Structure 1
Amino acid sequence: MRERGSETLVILPTYEERASLPNIVSAVREQLPEADILVIDDNSPDGTGEVADELAANDSRISVLHRRGKLGLGTAYIAGFEQALSGNYRFAIEMDSDGSHLASDLPRLIAAAHDGAGLVLGARWVPGGKIENWPWHRQAISRIGTAIARVSLRSHLHDLTSGFRVIDTNWLRRLDLSSVTTEGYGFQVELAWGLERIGCPVVEVPITFVERSSGRSKMSFGIVAEALAKVLLWGWQLRFGKLRK
């Protein structure tokens, strides 16, 4: 895809997002008309992969990676990063395909990347950031989890778990992606913290996060538990083990 001249690859992992995917792709195309879009579908039983193929057939800047099953968010993004690197894109964008991330925020995130940020986080927990349609207890869990991660990892970032981000591939190349093993929240924390630790300039841009109006969240207790366990382990290793800040 890269030879067509785009500097940006938008990565959209999907699993059972048949209803929302066309709208998300249309919104991305409206905001970033020159970007390439990579849909990564984990063999969705609802036919999301077929919808993605139809979109790609009508837009030469869209491609689809079909995977054999539900292999997880982290491995999906790593597969997308590998395509971004092999295609010599300058920026790789992480974005949910369920409508939680507003494409209208993309120009501000890209602008921050053009201004020199190696990692741009679409942040909820900074001044100007908002969440719509989340119950108070879910917001509390997210805030508490983020606070634990910040303290444990000695991080300066306010929204380590944000899944809406722009990454300069020059910094992405400096990471050992094969060593990233976590999923969901844990993957987002591991990647952001890994970039922060190697000196990547990070900018947090306030966004509005909107809870999906249809379909089911892919987040599970197991994914949250994995993230918490990993964060506490990394914090221990940072203080008493082999990791160094």
Structure 2
Amino acid sequence: MRHARVIHQGTIHNATPRDGQLLLDTGQLVAEDTVRWLPPLAPTPRPRTILALGLNYADHAKELEFKAPDEPLVFIKGESTLIGHRQLTRRPNDAQLMHYECELTIVVGRTAKKVKRDDAAGFIAGYTIANDYAIRDYLENWYRPNVRVKNRDTCTPLGPWLVDAADIADPMALALQTTVNGKVTQAGNTKDMIFDVNFLVEYFSSFMTLQPGDLILTGTPDGVVDCRPGDVVVTSIGGLGDLINTIEQT
């Protein structure tokens, strides 16, 4: 099943798709363009931890002229970066290079500590799409993205749906695509990840406890381009939908 969270007439609702519209938890059917979309996560639990992978696709590492890592390259993100579907992302006035990153995102379903790889699927509630924008001007070290690169308010659109894990037959065989103003600029497949979904759950839970609602952003393939004010960016993943976002100048 697909789940969303939206604001309709000033009230937050859980919603599911129904005949091209949204079925609110009140039983009301409304058009998708009459709501404000939120990240598709329940208010409780909210993510205590947001983990994000760098260089988790060999082609993207090559694109950035780096060797593919032997161990996950990870950074932490703050919750204030998250916004919903069809919302605006602010580009800093001084930015010269700001690009999208279409990423399969794991939503943790239950407390995970020292989980074995073969058991990892049972700890995943579902999947969603993240567009993890990076402002490369602020980067001090490709291997350790600093706070200003990856933790800016509005710079991580998430959604539109949280799709139950049971409805995704194989998370490691999903096509990814990004378009900017209707032009395809990125295409890839989750099968090309260096560190797959189950490995990541095992890896993180081996040294830290993952809690329900925590997020793991799994990296992006090659094909990133600069995004300018007014650009409409659509990040899509097979089975998860199309996450629409527009860039505005701060």
Same fold (TM over 0.5): no
Structure showing greater relative contact order (alpha-carbon pairs closer than 8 Å, 6 or more residues apart): 2
Q: Which is richer in helix? A: 1
Q: Which is richer in strand? A: 2
- TM-score, length-scaled by structure 1: 0.27
